[in-house]
Amino acid sequence: MIRLYISRIARDRLALAGAVMMLLLIALAAAAPWISPANYADQNLTERLSPPSARHWLGTDDLGRDVLSRMLWGTRVSLVVAFVAVGISTFFGTLVGLIAGYFGRWADAILMRFVDILLCFPTFFLILMVIAFLEPDIVNVMIVIGVTSWTGLARLVRGEALSLRERDFILAARALGASNSRVLFVHLLPNVAAPIVVSATLGVGGAILTESALSFLGLGVQPPDPSWGNMLSAGKDYIYFAWWLSVFPGLAILTTVMAFNLFGEGLRDALDPRS
């Protein structure tokens, strides 16, 4: 079955391109400590705002720090934040959706009304409101993005659970005396895993955009730690004569989000049982 899914993705050129870019970005993030040409925090004011050259491939910033080194470490930071945030949101969304869809009645009513209340607030402004009461650092950013972005997945999993709970294999498990937890996690969860995986893959791109926006506004990853968002924020004041400070982080965000979205779309098609 896994070989079938891989072959389907391999036939989709856009999904395959997204997968290659995604794996390359993960490899660069993992190897950042060894391939960075300099320490991302080392300053050299004599070389501040130097354009791309053989010495500094992507130039230097206003403090003389190597932009390539900061880009590589920014890749690491952005992917870690995105993966952890998506992991948190996937956990809560899956758990709430399974409970609401399987038990129904009062559990469904209470949980879905809570979800509806959260959906009334724009997610980004809800994140801003929560961050305003917390210290803006990388851990808080991961947690806040995760606990405010699970509602869509919860509704998706609830719908799948509602359609599965009356199937014969679920009724058979109940008749054999299986506990509710066993039915939820052994029988229901594997059958809703495909949309969960697709949603998580697509959610990585959204988490990266959210983290970059928060860092751009000064509410995310704090300097001197590099993030594509705070690199964009630092470069906006020099955009007319130091274009590399804004162009390279912007291209990194664009490429990463596009890679995960392309792969997510291809994964959705590959896991679709009707295809």
Model confidence pLDDT, tens digit, residues 3-53: 776 777 777 788 888 889 999 999 999 998 898 888 888 888 888 888 898
Q: pLDDT-based confidence at 275, cuts 50/70/90?
A: low
Give the separation between CA 129 and CA 123, rounded to whole angstroms: 10
Mean pLDDT within 65-87: 91
What pLDDT digit, counting tens, does each position of 173-203 carry?
888 887 878 888 888 888 888 889 888 998 9
What's the pLDDT band for 1 if we cut at 50, 70, 90? low
Q: What is the CATH number of the domain that holds 142?
A: 1.10.3720.10
* Amino acid in position 30: A
Tokens of 58: 């992507």
Across 56-65, 76-85, 156-165, 173-182, least confident range: 173-182
Residue 66 β-bridge partners: 60
Number of domains in the chain: 1
DSSP class of residue 224? Answer: T
- Domain carrying residue 14: 2-271
Contact at 8 Å (CB) between 62 and 126? no
pTM (predicted TM-score): 0.88
DSSP characters over 152-194: HHHHHHHHHHHHHTTSHHHHHHHHTT--HHHIIIIIIGGGGHH
pLDDT in tens, 119-173: 887 778 878 877 777 777 788 888 888 888 898 899 999 988 888 888 888 888 8
Residues 6+ apart with CB under 8 A from 260: 18, 22, 201, 202, 204, 205, 208
Q: Which residue has the tokens 């949603």?
A: 199
pLDDT at 272: 64
Considering only CA atoms, give the Rg of the chain. Answer: 22
